[in-house]
Amino acid sequence: MTTLATLPLWGTLGVLLCITLASYVQTLTGFAFGLIFLALVGVFDLIPVGVAANAVTLITLSQTVIHFREYPLTDDWRVIRPAIWPSLVGVAAGLALLFWLSDSALYLLKMALGVSVIGSAALLVVRFAPKAEIDAPGSFALTGLLAGLMGGMFSTAGPPLVYKLYRQPLSLPVIRQALLVMFGLSQLVRLGIVLVSGQFTPASLVYALMAVPLVFLVTRGNRRYPLKLSSVAISRVAAGLLLMAGASLIATAW
């Protein structure tokens, strides 16, 4: 297995470049850091998908803590409460699939990741029409289960939740808060399972430590020097990056 000690200098620089690009897409879209990062390191075989996913878990948790230090949690997050327990069950199931596929069918794991990335690209170009009323709790529970499966396998629970929440009659701050609550909880559970099962390696911690300052710098830079494009154009640029990364990942797995 590739570790930080065995990764050549160009490989380390490649991981840092992947982190930077994924961070930039995250600043444009509000999600997809994990999908972009995992897709890029998978395409170029820089580090194992499992190691990268564990690093994304730590990065997501740090992003969640930083956000809620700046923007305290309110009661608005409760809209997502029906999805929490199914999501945590999905995390455990997704991790089981990750462990199994990593050992016996790595190409299937890469293809599943590629399909997830392409699905996220589609979400960015579809214009959501908000519904008149909040969906039933059962619908949120199913979404939570799907999000948990993706979160367990790839540390990226975003696409199902983004689709669900942006279809609801909710304000953007409420949607962002609900997403971060779900991301934080699922990643916390995922980290606990990985630690207990002995699947966590020091390399993931090192990559996460390298990523945090890069994420901060990219976010700060985009805030000071934003891309001079409309929201529609930004979505299309980000979707194009996701589509290329997902298609490349499927091609290399095939």
pLDDT tens for 168-216 read 888 777 887 888 888 888 888 989 988 988 888 888 888 888 888 887 7
pLDDT tens for 132-164 read 788 888 888 998 898 888 888 777 777 778 778
> What integer pLDDT is reported at residue 106 of this predicted model?
65
- Residue 60: which of 26, 91, 94, 88 has the closest Cα? 26
Residue 103 or 26, more confident: 26
Say how many C-beta atoms besides its own lie within 10 A of residue 132's C-beta. 5
- At residue 62 the predicted structure's pLDDT band, cuts being 50, 70 and 90, is confident
pLDDT tens for 63-93 read 777 777 767 777 777 888 898 899 999 899 8
> What integer pLDDT is reported at residue 121 of this predicted model?
73
Instruction: Cite the DSSP H helix spans in the chain.
Output: 9-29, 33-43, 49-70, 84-104, 106-125, 137-154, 158-166, 172-196, 202-224, 231-253
Residue 192 or 228, more confident: 192
